[in-house]
């Protein structure tokens, strides 16, 4: 999937103060790049960008991945010398006939705070049971901060920015609109980062003029065109309850245990 399909996620992360580095490892169905090599390339690209911008090694890494990219995030988290502050896995897929190795053992060892979003439509074609979002969520080590959001009426590729623009889409779409699915994913990503990455929360609470509107526990803020839910940046805010209170254009089953 072309990196441009995730441009909205990158823009939002940038607005949150998380410098995005969008990776294309050149993998194809016929010639997949090994996940270990892809993860090492991604981490090297991150460190090159960090060096260019003068970002200290103490700054945590945020990993966001969709489909096979979720599997890559798990591998990268296990191989990163930089601490991982948060992971966002969008309908992740583990072992497939094209790439039978599993990333679940690596995920279990990371213990990084993980938000997992899953789709409920077309599970047999693109995100098969046993290798889908449920397997990733179940693999998280006990005590790991976690949140699962299931969009029962969404399809695997509806997390993309421009699904109709795909050259070929073999995944089924659900009754949810692409826009609604994207709104859920981006809002949840923003709230998750706000909760688990200190620099993001501090940026959102900064005085006016520091880049984003001042925040308090009684109001949300507009970031890159999306409004953060009320209480999203409150100290100790519970992510699940915050997101449950949001009126999305679809229903989401949020589970925090």
What is the pLDDT at residue 111?
Answer: 92
What is the pLDDT at residue 223?
Answer: 44
End-to-end CA distance of the chain: 31
Strand partners, 159: none
Question: Sorting pLDDT into bands at 50, 70 and 90, what band is 26?
Answer: low
Task: Tell me the C-alpha distance between 239 and 254, whole Å.
Answer: 10
Task: Tell me the C-alpha distance between 18 and 10, whole Å.
Answer: 9
Highest mean pLDDT out of 56-60, 231-235, 241-245: 56-60
The average pLDDT across 48-72 equals 93
Tens of pLDDT, residue by residue over 124-149, are 678 888 999 999 999 999 999 999 99
| pTM for this predicted structure | 0.87
Say how many C-beta atoms besides its own lie within 10 A of residue 78's C-beta.
Answer: 18
Q: Which domains does the chain have, with CATH numbers?
A: 3-255 (3.40.50)
C-alpha pair distances (Å), 195 with each of 4, 7, 17, 85, 205: 27, 22, 14, 10, 12
Tens of pLDDT, residue by residue over 63-113, are 999 998 999 999 999 999 999 999 999 999 997 777 778 999 999 999 999
Tens of pLDDT, residue by residue over 145-201, are 999 999 999 998 899 988 877 776 778 888 899 999 999 999 999 999 989 988 886
What is the pLDDT at residue 2?
Answer: 79
């Amino acid at each position: 999937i072309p990196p441009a399909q995730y441009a909205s996620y990158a823009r939002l992360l940038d607005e949150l103060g998380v410098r995005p580095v969008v990776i294309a490892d050149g993998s194809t169905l016929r010639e997949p790049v090994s996940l270990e090599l892809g993860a090492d390339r991604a981490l090297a690209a991150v460190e090159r960008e960090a060096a260019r911008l003068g970002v200290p090694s103490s700054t945590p890494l945020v990993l966001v991945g969709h489909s096979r990219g979720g599997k890559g995030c798990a591998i990268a988290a296990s191989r990163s010398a930089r601490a991982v502050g948060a992971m966002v896995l969008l309908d992740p897929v583990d072992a497939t006939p094209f790439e039978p190795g599993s990333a679940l053992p690596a995920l279990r060892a990371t213990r990084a705070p993980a938000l997992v979003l899953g789709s409920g439509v077309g599970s047999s074609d693109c995100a098969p049971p046993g290798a889908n979002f449920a397997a990733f969520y179940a693999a998280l080590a006990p005590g790991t901060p976690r949140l699962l959001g299931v969009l029962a009426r969404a399809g695997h590729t509806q997390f993309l920015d421009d699904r109709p623009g795909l050259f070929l889409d073999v995944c089924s779409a659900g009754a949810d609109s692409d826009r609604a699915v994207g709104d859920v994913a981006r809002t949840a990503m923003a709230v998750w980062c706000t909760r688990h990455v200190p620099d993001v929360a501090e940026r959102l609470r900064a005085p006016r003029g520091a880049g984003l509107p001042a925040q308090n526990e009684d109001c949300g803020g507009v970031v890159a065109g999306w409004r953060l839910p009320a209480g999203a940046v409150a100290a100790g805010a519970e992510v699940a309850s915050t997101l449950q209170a949001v009126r999305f254009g679809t229903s989401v089953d949020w589970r925090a245990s």
